[in-house]
Amino acid sequence: MTRKERQAAILRLIRERPISTQSELADALHSEGFEAVQTTVSRDVHELGLVKVRGSTGRLVYAEPGAIADRDRLDELRAALRRWALAIDANDSLAVAFTPAGYASALAQALDEARHPDVLATLAGENTVLVVPRLGLTAARLADELRHELLEGAA
Protein backbone atom coordinates (compact mmCIF):
# COMPACT_ATOMS: atom_id res chain seq x y z
CA MET A 1 0.00 0.00 0.00
CA THR A 2 1.17 3.50 -0.76
CA ARG A 3 2.19 6.31 1.57
CA LYS A 4 -0.90 8.30 0.52
CA GLU A 5 -3.19 5.38 1.35
CA ARG A 6 -1.50 4.93 4.73
CA GLN A 7 -1.75 8.62 5.54
CA ALA A 8 -5.41 8.68 4.48
CA ALA A 9 -5.97 5.74 6.84
CA ILE A 10 -4.25 7.65 9.65
CA LEU A 11 -6.54 10.66 9.14
CA ARG A 12 -9.61 8.42 9.11
CA LEU A 13 -8.46 6.56 12.24
CA ILE A 14 -7.86 9.70 14.29
CA ARG A 15 -11.29 11.01 13.27
CA GLU A 16 -12.98 7.75 14.27
CA ARG A 17 -11.34 7.08 17.63
CA PRO A 18 -9.00 8.64 20.17
CA ILE A 19 -5.38 7.69 19.54
CA SER A 20 -2.77 9.04 21.94
CA THR A 21 0.58 7.56 20.94
CA GLN A 22 2.49 6.59 17.84
CA SER A 23 2.46 3.02 19.14
CA GLU A 24 -1.36 3.06 19.32
CA LEU A 25 -1.43 4.52 15.83
CA ALA A 26 0.90 1.81 14.50
CA ASP A 27 -1.29 -0.87 16.12
CA ALA A 28 -4.42 0.66 14.58
CA LEU A 29 -2.73 0.71 11.17
CA HIS A 30 -1.71 -2.94 11.57
CA SER A 31 -5.34 -3.85 12.33
CA GLU A 32 -6.26 -2.13 9.05
CA GLY A 33 -3.69 -4.19 7.12
CA PHE A 34 -0.89 -1.60 6.89
CA GLU A 35 2.68 -2.50 7.76
CA ALA A 36 4.15 0.53 9.50
CA VAL A 37 7.01 0.71 11.96
CA GLN A 38 7.28 3.48 14.54
CA THR A 39 9.69 5.55 12.43
CA THR A 40 7.23 5.46 9.50
CA VAL A 41 4.38 6.51 11.77
CA SER A 42 6.52 9.28 13.22
CA ARG A 43 7.30 10.59 9.73
CA ASP A 44 3.61 10.40 8.76
CA VAL A 45 2.57 12.30 11.90
CA HIS A 46 5.09 15.01 11.03
CA GLU A 47 4.14 15.18 7.32
CA LEU A 48 0.41 15.35 8.12
CA GLY A 49 1.05 18.06 10.72
CA LEU A 50 -0.97 16.21 13.34
CA VAL A 51 -1.40 17.96 16.66
CA LYS A 52 -2.34 16.75 20.13
CA VAL A 53 -5.59 18.04 21.62
CA ARG A 54 -7.38 17.19 24.84
CA GLY A 55 -10.02 14.57 24.03
CA SER A 56 -13.41 14.16 25.68
CA THR A 57 -11.88 11.89 28.33
CA GLY A 58 -9.17 14.41 29.17
CA ARG A 59 -6.44 12.39 27.41
CA LEU A 60 -4.25 14.02 24.78
CA VAL A 61 -5.08 12.56 21.37
CA TYR A 62 -3.99 13.14 17.79
CA ALA A 63 -6.04 15.53 15.67
CA GLU A 64 -5.75 17.12 12.26
CA PRO A 65 -4.18 20.56 11.93
CA GLY A 66 -6.85 23.19 12.46
CA ALA A 67 -8.78 21.00 14.89
CA ILE A 68 -7.79 23.27 17.77
CA ALA A 69 -8.90 26.42 15.94
CA ASP A 70 -12.16 24.74 14.86
CA ARG A 71 -12.86 23.59 18.40
CA ASP A 72 -12.03 27.02 19.81
CA ARG A 73 -14.36 28.76 17.33
CA LEU A 74 -17.18 26.37 18.25
CA ASP A 75 -16.51 26.91 21.96
CA GLU A 76 -16.68 30.67 21.42
CA LEU A 77 -19.96 30.29 19.53
CA ARG A 78 -21.43 28.19 22.36
CA ALA A 79 -20.38 30.85 24.87
CA ALA A 80 -21.90 33.62 22.74
CA LEU A 81 -25.17 31.72 22.33
CA ARG A 82 -25.37 31.12 26.09
CA ARG A 83 -24.52 34.74 26.82
CA TRP A 84 -26.81 36.49 24.34
CA ALA A 85 -29.43 34.15 22.84
CA LEU A 86 -32.77 34.14 24.64
CA ALA A 87 -34.48 31.83 22.13
CA ILE A 88 -34.03 30.42 18.65
CA ASP A 89 -36.92 29.78 16.26
CA ALA A 90 -37.39 29.12 12.55
CA ASN A 91 -39.85 29.32 9.69
CA ASP A 92 -39.51 27.55 6.33
CA SER A 93 -36.41 29.42 5.20
CA LEU A 94 -34.83 31.41 8.05
CA ALA A 95 -33.75 30.78 11.59
CA VAL A 96 -34.01 33.63 14.07
CA ALA A 97 -32.08 34.11 17.29
CA PHE A 98 -33.65 36.47 19.81
CA THR A 99 -31.40 38.51 22.14
CA PRO A 100 -31.81 41.23 24.73
CA ALA A 101 -31.93 44.70 23.15
CA GLY A 102 -28.55 45.72 21.77
CA TYR A 103 -26.92 42.26 21.68
CA ALA A 104 -27.96 40.99 18.23
CA SER A 105 -24.86 42.42 16.53
CA ALA A 106 -22.53 40.69 18.96
CA LEU A 107 -24.28 37.36 18.45
CA ALA A 108 -24.29 37.77 14.65
CA GLN A 109 -20.58 38.53 14.73
CA ALA A 110 -19.93 35.41 16.83
CA LEU A 111 -21.94 33.32 14.34
CA ASP A 112 -19.99 34.80 11.42
CA GLU A 113 -16.59 34.34 13.08
CA ALA A 114 -17.39 30.73 14.02
CA ARG A 115 -17.72 29.92 10.31
CA HIS A 116 -20.36 27.36 11.21
CA PRO A 117 -20.61 25.00 8.21
CA ASP A 118 -24.42 25.24 8.11
CA VAL A 119 -24.68 29.05 8.32
CA LEU A 120 -24.59 30.94 5.03
CA ALA A 121 -25.06 34.44 6.47
CA THR A 122 -26.46 36.47 9.33
CA LEU A 123 -28.24 39.79 9.53
CA ALA A 124 -28.57 41.58 12.88
CA GLY A 125 -31.20 43.99 14.07
CA GLU A 126 -31.51 45.42 17.56
CA ASN A 127 -32.65 42.22 19.28
CA THR A 128 -32.93 39.62 16.53
CA VAL A 129 -30.47 37.84 14.26
CA LEU A 130 -31.68 36.33 11.01
CA VAL A 131 -29.61 33.24 10.33
CA VAL A 132 -29.69 31.99 6.75
CA PRO A 133 -29.01 28.25 6.37
CA ARG A 134 -26.86 26.86 3.56
CA LEU A 135 -28.58 25.36 0.54
CA GLY A 136 -30.04 21.95 1.29
CA LEU A 137 -30.45 22.53 5.01
CA THR A 138 -33.81 23.46 6.45
CA ALA A 139 -34.06 26.44 8.76
CA ALA A 140 -35.72 24.20 11.36
CA ARG A 141 -32.71 21.86 11.33
CA LEU A 142 -30.31 24.80 11.68
CA ALA A 143 -32.38 26.21 14.55
CA ASP A 144 -32.30 22.79 16.26
CA GLU A 145 -28.52 22.64 15.85
CA LEU A 146 -28.05 26.14 17.28
CA ARG A 147 -30.40 25.30 20.18
CA HIS A 148 -28.26 22.23 20.84
CA GLU A 149 -25.15 24.44 21.00
CA LEU A 150 -27.03 26.82 23.29
CA LEU A 151 -28.05 24.06 25.66
CA GLU A 152 -24.91 21.88 25.52
CA GLY A 153 -23.37 21.75 28.94
CA ALA A 154 -26.27 23.58 30.56
CA ALA A 155 -27.48 22.06 33.80
Q: What mean pLDDT do residues 120-140 have?
A: 93
Q: Is the pLDDT of residue 155 over 70?
A: no
Give the model confidence (pLDDT) of 19-46 as tens digits.
Answer: 989 999 999 999 999 988 888 999 999 8
User: In this structure, which amino acid lies at residue 34?
Assistant: F
DSSP annotation of 86: S
pLDDT at position 68: 64
Give the model confidence (pLDDT) of 58-117 as tens digits.
Answer: 788 888 877 667 777 878 898 999 999 999 999 989 999 999 999 999 999 999 988 887
**What is each CA distance from 70 to 6, 54, 65, 67, 115, in whole angstroms?**
25, 13, 9, 5, 9
Opening angle at CA 149, ends 146 and 150, nearest 5:
85
Q: Is the pLDDT of residue 153 over 60?
A: no
Helix axes 67-84, 139-151, angle to 10 degrees: 90
pLDDT at position 38: 85
Q: Which domains does the chain have, with CATH numbers?
A: 3-65 (1.10.10.10), 68-151 (3.30.1360.40)
